[in-house]
Structure 1
Amino acid sequence: MSDPLNAALLTPAQMAQAAEDAAYAKATGRPLKSFLLGLTAGAYIAIGFVFFVTSQVGADELAWGFAKVLGGIVFSTGLVLVVLTGAELFTSSTLTLTARASGRITWGQLLRNWLVVFVANFLGALTIVGLIYVAGTWHNADGQWGKVVLDVSSAKLDHTFVEAFALGILCNLMVCLAVWAAYSGRTTTDKILAVTLPIALFVATGFEHSVANMFVIPLGILISDTAGASFWTDANINASSYSGLTWQSFFVDNLLPVTLGNIVGGGVMIGVMYWTIFHHLDRPGRSRT
């Protein structure tokens, strides 16, 4: 006899349970497994950003909104790969707060998982940075590919701390909603559709994703620091325009506030919120008033 849960979409309450079970499995699993899955997730998000950058070369000739939505849709390839392959992404790993709220894991297990996945995501993203740089992809279209990277990176470092924090919250609201919705899917198509539009929304609107930034900003810094005179001439841009691209600015002005915002947006505003609705408030014996 077939299992009805394998034949139909999960209900919201079942999705909440599936998310908590997945969070528990991540936090109690072997750290090496989380590390290796984290490497792949960081690489997949970076690959999604490579697709985004390519889509934006010459896109200034399109309507602004259309160009951004196009970029958002192609970027979603990264999270689709994460979801379909079971990779571990820091932003969605913030949902382990659901398992902590239920008392199924300790704070130590939660923080260990976050640290392992965060570091692995960074190393995975930097791997793609190195490959893209060595491959010379940033020279494509007479340097316009690299110019998109530089422009996007510079814009991300122009936010105030509070702005970056708020943009991080908004981003991971959408990322964790996408992952949460994907738990309802029973087929590959279901999961792709659940993920694509929320991710396209956050990218198109300019929200901030810590792992995506681990790729694009380091690549922007690398190009800014090492590009020869021919690159700047071919791309018809001034190197001094990107003097603000520094490692200190990346870590302090972007990665720190965005990461904190991602934790609040995904872990608290999605994970803890739905845990409260479908676990805490639905416990047997609780008042329905």
Structure 2
Amino acid sequence: MDYIVPSELAKKMVDTGESKVFMSTRDTLIRAYMGGAILSLAAAFAVTMAVKTGVPLIGALLFPIGFIMLYLMGYDLLTGVFTLVPLALIDRRPGVTLQGVLRNWGLVFCGNFAGALTVALMMAIVFTFGFSQPPDEVGRAIGHIGESRTLGYAEHGAAGMLTLFIRGVLCNWMVSTGAIGALMARSLAGKALAMWMPVMLFFAMAFEHSVVNMFLFPSGLLMGGEFSFMDYMVWNEIPTVAGNLVGGLTFVGLAIYITHARTARARGAAPAAVVADDAAATPAPHTA
């Protein structure tokens, strides 16, 4: 059966989070660097297609290609480790500490940022023909994205900050649902489909993804966007990171863990009824 039932999925999520806590510094950084770079290329591709066609939905439909590629290759995004790694601590896995969780988050953040900056510089060369001419139409569009999604929030003050935070929450609710989609199916097609749908939704709705923004905003600065690095950090990246953490951990990681790994006893039913219900969801073995 291609589909993995939620009780098994919950265990896989905790196991995955535990493995990331104990991963070497070298491997964590390389996987995060490649994850940030590939997602940035996907963002550049999506913006290019949206600008060239004049149909933003085309970009949203195509963006998940990069997300699927990086997860199939075992790379990491900050949004994903926000959701999975704390579960190993909550599950009290031996040797997993808060320091280990924070170490993983810090390394993945640095790796993602380095990968995104690399692609931002490369694409800036492409958009400006080696900085020998003004940015092309895609480069100009990226510059305007940086302005509208920093100064645009700042114009609204506290209401803008709240909106930015909530967009970060909604983003990782969807993106982390896509991330666990890679664990939810056994076949390549099943994994791709489970990842595609929620990631397309986040991009189409213009929610705020901390790693995508690590590419878009530095790239926007290179393209002459009229905002500063501090505008980017204060009025986008930091609130987005906070929102991504809350959205992924609360609405995906904890929701699945609490109800499937630490399932409460069913009301008015014996424990055996819960066991029977789980057994019914699991296909019977094939017999000759």
TM range (shorter): 0.7 to 0.9
1:137-286 pair list within 5 angstroms: 143-157=136-150, 158-159=152-153, 160-224=160-224, 242-243=225-226, 245-281=227-263
| 2:140/2:223 contact within 8 Å kept | no
Rounded to whole Å, the distance in 2 between the matches of 1:58 and 1:88 is 30
Match of 1:132 in 2: 123
Match of 2:12 in 1: 18
| 1:97/1:268 contact within 8 Å kept | no
TM superposition shift of 1:8: 3.0
Q: Which is further off, 68-77 or 122-131?
A: 68-77
Rounded to whole Å, the distance in 2 between the matches of 1:82 and 1:19 is 18
Rounded to whole Å, the distance in 2 between the matches of 1:45 and 1:192 is 15
Is 1:71 the counterpart of 2:67 in the alignment? Answer: no
Q: Please state whether the residue corresponding to 2:184 is helix, strand or coil.
A: coil
**Residue 110 of structure 1: which of 101, 108, 112 is its match?**
101
Rounded to whole Å, the distance in 1 between the matches of 2:6 and 2:119 is 36
Query: Quick one: which amino acid aligns to residue 103 of structure 1?
Result: R
Rounded to whole Å, the distance in 2 between the matches of 1:169 and 1:266 is 7
Query: Quick one: which amino acid aligns to residue 22 of structure 1?
Result: T
Rounded to whole Å, the distance in 2 between the matches of 1:69 and 1:20 is 35
Query: Quick one: which amino acid aligns to residue 40 of structure 1?
Result: M
TM superposition shift of 1:146: 1.0
Rounded to whole Å, the distance in 2 between the matches of 1:21 and 1:112 is 18
Q: Deviating runs (4+, > 6 A) in structure 1?
A: 138-142
TM superposition shift of 1:108: 0.6
Q: For the structure 1 residues 186 and 141, does the alpha-carbon distance in structure 2 shift closer, same or farther, using more than 3 Å as the test?
A: farther
Q: For the structure 1 residues 195 and 21, does the alpha-carbon distance in structure 2 shift closer, same or farther, using more than 3 Å as the test?
A: same
Match of 1:3 in 2: none
Alignment gaps of 5+ in structure 1: 1-6, 61-66, 225-241
For each residue in 1:87-139, what CA deviation from the matched residue of structure 2 results, as whole angstroms up to 9, or x when unmatched? Answer: 01100111212111101221111000000000100000001011112234679
| 1:171/1:208 contact within 8 Å kept | yes
| 2:127/2:136 contact within 8 Å kept | no
TM superposition shift of 1:27: 1.0
Rounded to whole Å, the distance in 2 between the matches of 1:197 and 1:279 is 25
Rounded to whole Å, the distance in 1 between the matches of 2:188 and 2:134 is 35
Rounded to whole Å, the distance in 1 between the matches of 2:57 and 2:128 is 23
Rounded to whole Å, the distance in 2 between the matches of 1:70 and 1:99 is 38
1:47-86 pair list within 5 angstroms: 47-60=41-54, 67-86=55-74
Q: Which is further off, 7-16 or 89-98?
A: 7-16
| 2:173/2:247 contact within 8 Å kept | yes
Alignment gaps of 5+ in structure 2: 154-159, 268-288
| 1:97/1:272 contact within 8 Å kept | no
Rounded to whole Å, the distance in 2 between the matches of 1:124 and 1:261 is 22
Match of 2:274 in 1: none
Q: Please state whether the residue corresponding to 1:278 is helix, strand or coil.
A: helix
Is 1:33 the counterpart of 2:27 in the alignment? Answer: yes
TM superposition shift of 1:182: 2.2
Match of 1:234 in 2: none
Rounded to whole Å, the distance in 2 between the matches of 1:137 and 1:203 is 26
| 1:171/1:209 contact within 8 Å kept | yes
Query: Structure 2-normalised TM-score?
Result: 0.84
Q: Please state whether the residue corresponding to 1:183 is helix, strand or coil.
A: helix
Rounded to whole Å, the distance in 2 between the matches of 1:135 and 1:181 is 34
Task: Provide the identity percentage.
Answer: 27
Q: For the structure 1 residues 207 and 73, does the alpha-carbon distance in structure 2 shift closer, same or farther, using more than 3 Å as the test?
A: same
